[in-house]
Chain A
Amino acid sequence: MGASVEIMEIGETEDVADPFKPTGDPASMAKYFRVIMWALVALFVVVLLVAYSKARTTAVTVIIAVGASAAVWIAANLLFNQVRRNWVLFNVISYGVIGFLVGAVLSGNELLEGTGGGFFNWVWFPLIAGAGAAAVGFVLARFSEPTIRLVVAAGGLGGLGLLAGLLLRPAYQPEVSPGVFAYAAGAAIVGALLSLLFKHAWWHGALLGLALGWPLGAFGYADLGDGNAAWAAIAAAIGPTLLGVRVSLAPIPDTVRRNLIDQRSRAVIFIAPALLFIFATLVVPTIRTIYLSFFSDNSEDYVGLANYKDTFDDPNSWDTSNWKDMFFSFPMTVAIVLLAIFVVIGISQKRRTGKVVELGSPSMFPLVIGGLFLSFAVFTVLRGTIINNLWWVAVVTGLSTGLGLAVAVLADRARGERIAKSIIFMPMAISLVGASVIWRFMYVARDSTKQQTGVMNALWVGLGRLSTGSGFWTWLVGIVLTIAFIGLVALLGQALVRRNWGKAVVPGVAALLLGWFLIRYFAIVGGGVGGQVSGPDGQFVGNPVNFVQEPPYNNFWLMVVLIWIQTGFSMVILSAAIKAVPTEFIEAARVDGATDSQIFWRVTLPQIAPTIGVVVTTLIVLVMKVYDIVKVMTNGNFGTQVLANDMFQQAFQFGNVGRGASLAVLIFVSVLPVMIYNIRKMQREA
């Protein structure tokens, strides 16, 4: 990631049209930003308050919650400012606040006699607790004699605990039971061990553990409501007393130590809100999802790995039964031809350069294109959700990166570079849902008797009309393509005559494909190309393709949507990387007599290889989670199901929480290696 941050800094000045020229003046940018932010806030408030009444309550809640959080955060900052300035004040306030909060919990839940019903009944106990604790805090901050500290702290806090225990309503008085001691002892041992681990005196931790473990055991383990007032008072007093003993043992900190406390408290104040949020919305839910994936659909029975097993046993997600058909498909034929060409060229190349394949070598092109066709041969025959996901990853990652690189190279220093790049990048701004809607209109297939209103079918049927027709346009297109074919053959012949085998490959393969197309176009073999069939009298009848509903290739047409979006992304990143290649390298290569293509394959491409890695890994993660496009275009029907949509349907529509959770974990596990690789790289660069 560090790489791409750096890249975008380099790229930003000449990358894309920018109406706001970088001023380099933070003050004016700050002003500009502040205006935008305030405008957003104002818009939000106005819109919500004016527009509709239900939003008004929501807005008020949000504003109160956010305002209160901000107030707490700033108050905490101001309070901890006192650590360095005024230790006594800090202690009084913090002890008082803690005492008040504990008291508020007790009286707010109506655990005590005389609480509940009315503000005064609620507030009197918290005030007493707060005042008592504040007094203890004052003494602890002011006096350093151990006896005074011990007596006041243990006595004061213990007294408050005793008061709370005596006031406890009978319904909450705990029963005496031996388990309490076991629980408290356990907590004490844990505390002692933690102290040892962090190299403190072991009895400090033990005291703290006991102080916390005792009330937990006394009120948590025992049955409530069966005890008597005396035991309740003892149970409630022991915890605070022990706590008082523990705090009295800590000496009054000197300036150095107060600075340290200030420092550490700031770490907590600044980082804790984020960690709290992350913990609640990311960490805990992730753990819980993994946990739920081992349980049945209603999360009640433990089923082990059955959910995962179901996924792999389900023919809807993993169906390889037709694997034999793979070898007789059209893409396989093309792949075999191209790979055969690769082998032939590779062998001859090995004799000359010692390597079968290199970047930009003649053998690379048939290998890459053959590989692409091979993937189609495999993925159109093996079916299922998991296979679809793999297909998505292979095709979208490969084509987006390849096309992005091609456009970046083509546009480099071309006239109108900014406009071209802006247009290709624009789909990134549109939502995936919007893009799916846009492409649905591209793919519309209408009855063959009607005009086609989708661009793709209009082109396809139009091609069929040209191919089977005999008008002016038919011949024009035919003649232009024939001239192009002759040109390619001429290039091929020239290269062969000059014995420049490397230059012969690209025109050769292109001539082969174009020649084959022309044979079909003029109906020398078969009945023409494009979306057409012959009617009963041999007249033209359009034959549109239902791009979205015809498996297995509808998967590919869905992928096109994501390619349309993501090509702009890879283009911008790769373009910036290409511009960042030092010109000295290119000059030096040119002086040495390298051709443009040699410079690209041998200098530029190795230089931008790390960036290509960034693009590819980013795309893999993104494509693995593809959801919106499939949901909007087919909702997983017609053999286009992917993991994310399957997960959504299982968990939220079919009510099979266990299966849905297992699919989510599957997505998680499959992107994990790539993300680990990315994060490690980020750390190396950071």
Chain B
Amino acid sequence: MTDIALSRPDGDQDRGSGAGAAIYRFMRSIPVWVLWLIVIFWSLPTVGLFVSSFRDRDAQRATGWWKVRPDQLTLDNYQTIFEANTGLGKSLLNSMAIAIPATLIPIAIASFAAYGFAWIDFKGRRWLFIATVSLLAIPLQVALIPLLQMFNLGAHFTLPILDKTITVVPDLDLANTTTAVWLTHTGFALPFAIFLLHNYISGLPKDLFEAARIDGADHFTVFWRLVLPLSVPVLAAFAIFQFLWTWNDFLIANTMVGTNADARPTTILIANLAGDFGRNEFLLPAAAFVQAFVPLVVFFALQRYFVRGILAGSVKG
């Protein structure tokens, strides 16, 4: 297959007529067929979910989604999942309450830092930058236990020798709140955000900054008037990546608010729906589709930024 796959139409040299040529042309078209076969197989799961979400419970249990009949289509599933007991509406709000601050706050903090690392001269700058970016290597799991303890009880530190315990972070009553989730996301986004924004901001033309400095602009003005407007493409790429990351996140949300039905985002709701086997299974396709709706809209509307953001985000630890 590989041998054939690499052939391109323009590389076709054996033009001729007769059965041999026909077979040859057929063999040449095999790669295209293979490609579309893969594409069809790739889209099957999503199409199946979409179709299933409009079929009622009995239809879903009786036949496969590919045997759907027009008279089976209904919006009841969507109606049910937004009703109070399943509470998808509240979960969507929670997802937004997590994803929006977790997108905006890291952008602000990281763009300060990226500018600082790129254009403010100070001793140990390179060393500090490498240390910051190296923290990309830390997997989420490593920080979860202490962070949860901190949100539950605050952070306390016992001074060496003096044997006195001081409270570094008081118990702010953040246990089981969406605030705990986006705070965690913010911290974890920063090394990557700084890295990404620094890559871009440090590449801006140097003359620009020198001219502004000569005109007497201070760093704050340069940052606000010059750097932010010029960095829009990278800020957008990061914003999209971070928004989807937090919207789709399950691990952090499950750790921080997994037990609180009032604060759980959509991913946890769906995972719980999937957990109680059988009973609510027919609601899952509709719920999963609603959850995926926001990312899919972003995907189809802002594909270029989306691809950029995803690719850039692939290094995130």
Contact = CB atoms under 8 A, between A and B. Distances in A.
Contact of A682 (B31, B43, B133, B285): B133
A434 B179 contact: no
Given A58-B178, A61-B179, A644-B141, 8 more contacts: A8-B308, A220-B164, A263-B121, A271-B128, A412-B8, A441-B284, A627-B251, A628-B251
10 contacts: A41-B100, A220-B159, A264-B122, A274-B190, A275-B113, A414-B35, A424-B38, A621-B139, A622-B314, A679-B134
B3 to A, nearest CB: 5
B292 A410 contact: no
Contacts of B303: 16-19, 422
Nearest to B64: A453
A454 B49 CA distance: 11
Interface of B: 1-3, 5-8, 11, 31-32, 34-36, 38-39, 42-46, 48-49, 52, 60-66, 90, 93, 96-97, 100-101, 103-105, 108-110, 112-113, 115-117, 120-122, 125, 128, 130, 132-148, 150, 155, 159, 161-162, 164, 169, 177-179, 183-184, 186-188, 190-191, 194-195, 199, 218-220, 223, 229-230, 232-233, 235-236, 239, 244, 247-251, 254-255, 258, 262, 267, 270-271, 274-275, 284-285, 288, 291-292, 295-296, 298-299, 301-304, 306-308, 310-312, 314-315, 317
A651 B144 contact: yes
A47 B93 contact: yes
Given A29-B232, A263-B120, A431-B250, A506 B3 contact: yes
Contacts, number: 401
Interface in A456-501: 458
Contact of B113 (A271, A564, A569, A647): A271
A663 B142 CA distance: 9
Contacts of A644: 141, 251
Q: Which 7 A-B pairs have the closest CB atoms?
A: A281-B187, A270-B116, A431-B248, A675-B137, A274-B113, A285-B143, A285-B146
A195 interface: no
Contact of A455 (B64, B135, B229): B64
Contact of A668 (B139, B164, B184, B314): B139
Interface residues of A, number: 158
Contact of B143 (A282, A426, A432): A282
A635 B254 CA distance: 13
Interface string A562-575: 00100101001100
Main secondary structure of the interface of A (DSSP, over half): helix
Given A264-B122, A429-B244, A453-B60, A289 B132 contact: no
B132 A278 contact: yes
With most chain B CB atoms within 10 A of its CB, the pick from A36, A84, A432, A438 is: A438
Interface in A174-233: 183, 216, 220-221
Contacts of B136: 675, 679
With most chain A CB atoms within 10 A of its CB, the pick from B128, B178, B249, B250 is: B250
Contacts of B183: 281
Nearest to B110: A274
A628 B291 CA distance: 15
Contacts of B284: 437, 440-441
